[in-house]
């Protein structure tokens, strides 16, 4: 959860990046997105900087649930299982 990540704003269907909305660790980015308005949150994506993992709105919601429910840290395998399979 401490790996660097970037939050991107996307267009209405989430297909095209429109700009950087924040940066930090994966956990920090998830917390930032949690504070977004529902409209802004629906178009946010989190991308890992050094890994080929991307989290769209649904995956971000699942990631936030994991962060609330799990004790310290998820394994890399658990994080990969949450990521957007469509990239």
Domain boundaries, the chain: 4-82
Residue 78, pLDDT above cutoff 80: no
Mean pLDDT of 19-39: 92
Residue 87, pLDDT above cutoff 60: no
- Alpha-carbon distance 58 to 37, whole Å? 15
pLDDT of residue 72: 53
Question: What's the order of all strands across the beta sheet hosting 44-48?
Answer: 17-25, 4-10, 44-48, 54-55
Q: Is the dihedral of CA 46, 63, 86, 5 positive or negative?
A: positive
- Alpha-carbon distance 70 to 51, whole Å? 22
More confident residue, 42 or 12: 42
pLDDT of residue 73: 56
Q: For the whole model, what pTM was predicted?
A: 0.72
pLDDT of residue 13: 58
């Amino acid at each position: 959860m401490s790996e660097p990540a970037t939050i991107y704003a996307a267009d209405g269907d989430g297909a095209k990046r429109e700009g950087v909305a924040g940066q930090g660790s994966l956990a920090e980015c998830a917390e930032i997105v949690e504070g977004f308005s529902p409209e802004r949150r629906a178009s946010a994506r989190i991308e890992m900087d050094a890994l080929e993992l991307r989290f769209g709105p649904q995956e971000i919601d699942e990631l936030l649930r994991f962060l609330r429910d799990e004790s310290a840290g998820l394994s890399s395998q658990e994080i990969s299982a949450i990521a957007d399979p469509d990239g």
